[in-house]
Amino acid sequence: MIKKIFVFGLLLVCLSISAFSQESIKKDATTAKGRTAEEASKTALNVGGKMPNFMLSDSVGKSVKSNDLLKQGNLVVVFYRGAWCPFCNLYLKKLQENISQINAQGANVLAISVENPDRSSAIAAKNKIDFTVLSDPNFEVARKFKIVYEMPKETSELYKSKGFDLAAYNNTAKAELPLSATYIVNKRGEIVYAFLETDYKKRAEPSVIIETLAKLKADESKMDKKKMR
């Protein structure tokens, strides 16, 4: 009961400061010592790039290899900030609502955050998710995608004043976050779609994801037919 109250309170805090924190990100973009969200969006892996190989633990602690996932089909790789972020929870629910259409296009969804397997399991249960949720300690994989940035000091201090220390929560040296990025990766590990918006309240629309996957599936079908000739 206490845990539920804490989580609920944390979500209210995040919602109440979301508008202010977004303005802080813009204000501190040029003064923050760390890498900004804008800088990350410019250097992040993009269309035409190759998804880095990785091995992470899923929500039950089982090791999952990226190469094994690619053998099962194309991937929709989603990076989210954490269970504490209400916008992330809403987006994961939205993806779950569209999972049958995504799967029908020969793709699987993969959600990644810095949170440990226990928290990943909790978010999967809370949002009734049946796609893969992985734990990425210290943003190791997110750093390979080059999407990690440091939260502006003013925003970090604001969170702390509301009782939420992001670095301590994530068990990281700095208050860092990944862009709320979405990638579509084909079975060869090639990135064919990348959503790299710096505003964490904006996410890749499921309709766009499904449309992109449908085109990818059609192109792959044509290639297979050519090989059979």
Find all residues with CB under 8 Å of 215, minimum gap 6, and list them.
none
Give yes or no for residue 16 having a pLDDT over 70: no
Per-residue pLDDT tens for 26-64?
443 333 358 999 999 999 999 999 999 999 999 889 999
Percent of the chain with pLDDT over 90: 72
Using CA atoms, how far residue 186 sits from 56, 79, 217, 220, in Å, is: 19, 17, 9, 9
- Looking at the domain covering 37-148+174-228, what would its CATH class be? alpha beta
Q: Is the pLDDT of residue 134 over 70?
A: yes
User: Quick one: pLDDT at residue 228?
Assistant: 67
* pLDDT value of residue 181: 98
| Confidence tier at 105 by pLDDT (50, 70, 90) | very high
Please, which residues bridge with residue 81 across strands? none
Q: In the prediction, which pLDDT does 19 show? A: 43
pLDDT confidence of residue 137 = 96
Q: Say if residue 172's pLDDT is above 90.
A: yes
Q: What is the dihedral of CA 198, 202, 208, 213, to 10 degrees?
A: 60
